[in-house]
Chain A
């Protein structure tokens, strides 16, 4: 697996929280004009956050844009979008997003 997302999350409340990151979830490069690859979560993850705690987790990912430059500690955002497919390899993801 060549790509990863380093995700730092905070639980600001008094209740413990479980958080799921689903397979196929997209992470975007904040500035699309940088021409850097967006990333896709490669599997399902679940994390537990204690009250008032912060954790940093690493999510294995695929790259979504074959023609762009790879990220290098590039600032990204979480997105509400997931792929309408169940990719099992990097090639699957590139094929999915390539123009049809």
Chain B
């Protein structure tokens, strides 16, 4: 079964579907697939190496082979040693094309995985990641329903603007995107995407963490159903850059923010 599956995988550049039976085979499969790393597209850094490991864990414990019973997980192993230092442990360390290509993956260090410590199947729908912290955490969504949901979400998020263009005189209109959300990790990732146009703290000027925090608080009781992703205006906030105010001075690099500490 493995030889056949691997051949299919090679022909589709690492996007095969596998039945995992035991822990040993899971690790073995991971090792085999490192040989099928994807090649970056033109213009990307060639030394990069990323391999996708995609497994479908069937409900063997229930002795069922019906595809509808299958649960999928997916992992992306990176040769970048992502978790080597805390400062590197960020999705921003990954090229954009990789995040798009592997949008529904766990993201882990290849080195840790190849040492055999990484990925273990514990049972139906359960995976263990030991000494191998994931940076992105998603369930795989490759059914037609999930694909159309993702396309709809991308279109909706494109309409969600939080920072007006520099020449705009008026505030952005309040906009709220509503989308189904499975869990708090999912909500955090959705919020990160929804507020992607907001500064993240360079020069001491942020905003994105604030919007994410307000969004998480607002939806705390809605996880597992439809959540709201309001833009800054819909959260009751105005993006303001007025001459002489701190934001303007910082953006003009006339003043540097050395530290900001909150206390109660």
B255 lies within 8 A of A11 (CB): yes
The 0/1 profile, CB within 8 Å of A marked 1, for residues 187-206 of chain B is 01000000000010100111
Which B residues are in CB contact (< 8 Å) with A79? 199, 205-207, 210, 247
What is the chain A residue whose CB lies nearest that of B221?
Answer: A99
B206 lies within 8 A of A30 (CB): yes
CB-contact partner of A77 in B205, B237, B263, under 8 A? B205
A73 lies within 8 A of B213 (CB): no
Chain B binding site: helix, strand, loop or mixed by DSSP?
mixed
8 Å CB contacts to A: which residues of B185-235?
188, 199, 201, 204-207, 209-210, 212-214, 216-218, 220, 232-233, 235
What are the 3 tightest A-B residue pairs by CB atom distance, in nearest-first order? A77-B206, A71-B262, A28-B210
Which A residues are in CB contact (< 8 Å) with B206? 28, 30, 77-79
8 Å CB contacts to B: which residues of A11-29?
11-13, 15, 17-22, 25-29
CB distance from A87 to the nearest CB of B (A): 11
CB distance from B160 to the nearest CB of A (A): 15
CB distance from B139 to the nearest CB of A (A): 19
Chain B interfacial residues counted at CB < 8 A = 46
- State in angstroms the CA–CA spacing of A65 and B163 once bound together: 22
| Given A4-B263, A19-B244, A77-B260, A82:B205 Cβ within 8 A | no
Which A residues are in CB contact (< 8 Å) with B209? 28-32, 77
CB-contact partner of B237 in A4, A61, A81, under 8 A? A81
A80 lies within 8 A of B239 (CB): yes
Chain A binding site: helix, strand, loop or mixed by DSSP?
strand
Could you say which interface size class chain A belongs to? 35 or more
CB distance from A55 to the nearest CB of B (A): 10
CB-contact partner of A83 in B188, B236, B255, B260, under 8 A? B236
- State in angstroms the CA–CA spacing of A4 and B261 once bound together: 8
Task: Name the residue among A20, A68, A83, A85 with the largest chain B CB count within 10 angstroms.
Answer: A20
A10 lies within 8 A of B256 (CB): yes
CB-contact partner of A78 in B232, B244, B250, under 8 A? B250
Which B residues are in CB contact (< 8 Å) with A80? 163, 199, 205, 207, 239-241, 247, 251
| Given A33-B188, A80-B207, A75:B218 Cβ within 8 A | no
What is the chain B residue whose CB lies nearest that of A31?
Answer: B209
